[in-house]
Structure 1
Amino acid sequence: MDSKPRVLVLGLDPYRVPGPWDPEPVATGIQAGMADFAAHGVGAETCLVGLDGSDDIEAVVTAALAAHPWECVVIGGGIRRADEDSGLFETVINLVHRHAPAAAIAFNQTPADTYHAAARRLTPPRDA
């Protein structure tokens, strides 16, 4: 297998999402999800952005998308549900469409099942 990453996981940095909540379970889920990629021999990287105003989200996501030719981009649930008006999700989808047009797009259910979401879209299919 090519040693270059094939999957980019776009999500929210749980430590930079405002509110009174415990980010640890999400962070642990992200780590578990990424470990599944390694266990299955699939290269993957994360691009986690904050909602605390510390990121230029478009610039950060664009840079990640431009870093490699991705076979699949997984868009995490936090991004899909971050804005009540769906603005962040629309922005990210359009950035993927523009900067990684050949990549399949996948959606996970939880941070821990991210590998399985990508595996549905990888060619040739990986055992899920």
Structure 2
Amino acid sequence: MKIILIIGMNTHTIDYTNPELPKGITAEMIEQGTKATVNKLSSIGFQAELFLIDAGTVAPGNLEQLVRRVNYDGIVVGNGIRGVASNFILFEQIINIIHENAPKSKIIFNTLPNNTDEAVKRWL
């Protein structure tokens, strides 16, 4: 079974007043989408794990140790990191951590929360 790491934002630390976010989005909506993504990946034979980063955190915590310890087949960097300008430095840090510490892992980007499985299948 291939193992996928999904890196996203901790929904309880996101500033939902940020105009870059879709109007009306809530922590509950994101959490439901994440749960559906993990379940969908599981149903098609992938083991999906989550790594959530607190908003406003510049250093992504234990990500470096995690990707060194586990040989992920693919690592998804969520749009909440990639698509929000205030997370630009964080996004760069994450890509460099993956590049340096998990060079055999495919780096995967989805275009919507509900097409992560398609992005995973594209690379794996």
User: What is the TM-score of this pair, normalised by structure 2?
Assistant: 0.82
User: Which structure 1 residue ranges, 4+ long, deviate > 4 Å from structure 2?
Assistant: none
Separation in 1 of the partners of 2:84 and 2:108? Answer: 17
Among 18, 42, 45, the residue aligned to 2:49? 45
User: What is the TM-score of this pair, normalised by structure 1?
Assistant: 0.80
CA contact (8 A) 2:11 2:30 kept: yes
| 3-state SS of 1:14 partner | coil
Equivalent residue number for residue 21 of structure 2: none
What does 1:48-59 align with in structure 2 at a 5 Å threshold?
48-53=52-57, 57-59=59-61
The Cα offsets for residues 79-104 of structure 1, whole Å up to 9 and x where unpaired, read as 10233472111111101001100111
| Post-superposition offset of 1:116 | 1.7
Separation in 2 of the partners of 1:74 and 1:28? Answer: 17
Q: Which amino acid aligns with 1:15?
A: H
| Post-superposition offset of 1:45 | 0.6
Q: Which amino acid aligns with 1:12?
A: M
Equivalent residue number for residue 10 of structure 2: 13
Q: Which runs of 5+ in 1 are unaligned?
A: 123-128
**Change beyond 3 A, Cα 1:57–1:31:** farther
Q: Which runs of 5+ in 2 are unaligned?
A: 18-24
Among 92, 102, 115, the residue aligned to 1:113? 115
Q: CA RMSD in A?
A: 2.0
